[in-house]
Amino acid sequence: MRKGNPKSVTDWSDLVRDDVKVVFPNPKTSGNGRYTYLAAYAYALEANKGDQEKAKEFVRKLFANVPLFDTGGRAAITTFVEHGIGDVLVTFEAEVQSIGSQYGKDKTDLVIPPVSLRADFPVAVVDKVVDERGSHKLAETYLQYLYTPEAQEIIAAHYNRRIDKEIAAKHANDFANVRLLTVKDVFGGWQKVQEEHLANGGILDQLYVNR
């Protein structure tokens, strides 16, 4: 939010008010924007007891409150912080936390909604690629390292929530207490999201029309 949160935004429901302009990247070109779309949809589904049509209407209103869609998360931050467009920037928690460090804590306030969507960043070793480069062992070693206490501490230092329970407990006071929904629980998994929401002519296309 802008410093002092002049629009008194505290939850997803405030983002569809007529007096609030929202900035987040294009869900058709950005993983960041895609998670924002799904998080808003998940919130609306829960708030409306699973009513799909009311959830769609909520997201349609949210899209209408976005003055412009940047292609990626970094560009959206620039639009909001440097260009002064919009009342609210919606992005990953780690990105929001880092804005204060990058631009100064006098420019923005951080507001975490009571419920949101967990954003997981999958990692994998692609055999064809690493075999061509001769880096199979190195890639596997790095992937395994990500789940060690040392790596999890580095992850925490960059404002990301951890998987390691002991590290998470150690940093519990560094993060807001938010109930995180999952793509699997709300939407049935990413394959179903791709088929129902993200495919050509899917729900996202229906709600994004004329943008």
Chunk the chain into consecutive blocks of 10 residues (it has 211) and report each block's average pLDDT, rounded to whole numbers: 94 98 96 97 97 98 96 94 95 83 80 93 92 95 94 90 87 88 96 97 89 60
* Strand 22-23 with 179-181, pairing: unpaired
pLDDT on residue 165: 87
Q: What is the pLDDT of residue 211?
A: 60
Residue 161 is predicted with a pLDDT of 87
User: What does the domain layout of the chain look like in residue ranges?
Assistant: 1-118+182-211, 119-175
**Residue carrying the six token digits 């609030």:** 20
Q: Is 201 left (phi over 0), alpha (psi -120 to 50) or beta?
A: left
**Whether the Cβ atoms of residue 92 and residue 73 lie closer than 8 Å to each other:** yes
The residues near 95 (Cβ < 8 Å, ≥ 6 apart) are: 32, 73, 77
Tell me how far apart the alpha carbons of residues 79 and 73 are, in angstroms, rounded to a whole number. Answer: 10
The helices-and-strands tally (H runs, E runs) of the chain is 11, 4
pLDDT of residue 103: 78
Options 3.40.50.300, 3.90.1150.10, 3.40.190.10, 3.40.50.970; which CATH number does 1-118+182-211 get? 3.40.190.10
The confidence score (pLDDT) of residue 100 equals 72
pLDDT in the model for residue 136: 94
- Look up the pTM and report it: 0.89
The type of residue at 128 is K
Per-residue model confidence (pLDDT) at position 19: 97
Burial 134-172 (b: 16+ CB within 10 A, else e): eeeeebeeeeeeeeeeebbeebbeebbbbebeebeeebe
Q: What is the pLDDT of residue 210?
A: 61
| pLDDT for the residue numbered 195 | 97
Q: What is the pLDDT of residue 118?
A: 94
H/E segment holding residue 22: strand 22-23
User: What angle is formed at CA 162 by the lines to CA 156 and CA 167, rounded to 5 degrees?
Assistant: 75
